[in-house]
Amino acid sequence: MSNKRVQQQIKKSLSPELYQHSVGVAEMAVILAKQLGYDEKKAYLAGLLHDCARDWTERDLLRYAEKNGIEADKFSQKYPVLLHAAVGAAYVQDWGVDDNEILAAIRNHTLGYPGMSLLEQITYVADKIEQGRTYPGVEELRRTVHADFYQGLLAVAEQSISYILHKRQPLHPATISFWNWLVGQSKGE
């Protein structure tokens, strides 16, 4: 499927607000890709598609996961929205998206995991700092990301984890492992 058809498909699949967010993530992913010397077309597509299953109901996410062999761990069963990333990565394959880097970026943009590729990191960060985001501290995160991407990645992960802790929700083990890996990377371990 061509990028134009993928863009048309995603626009039909999402609410107007979520479509705007996805375009914002795609645009920020391109900015970050330029900054880091990465493939801008791949970054754009990963950003555009990252939330393709975000509007699905909890029931639909759980059903699709079960039908397609996607693990729904105890966290995903309690918070099915967490499945939107893995479900989305599987779902866009039906649209002809078969680039493993793009699929991994979609699959891992929410929880993170140790050893994320550059495209996965770009998508993770772009999702949190795209221009439509207005939460307290986002401007500082944008400045940090643009000054030093890897310190920015660490700051974005810290903000995301702090937000979850502030809501007194449990941290997914993948997020804990991701954080530990990031801290180790920043200390040269």
Average pLDDT over residues 161-184: 94
* pLDDT above 90 as % of the chain: 89
Q: Other C-beta atoms within 10 Å of 79: how many? A: 13
- Calculate the alpha carbon distances from 3 to 12, 25, 45, 121, 136 in Å: 14, 16, 8, 22, 34
**pLDDT-based confidence at residue 8 (cuts at 50, 70, 90):** confident
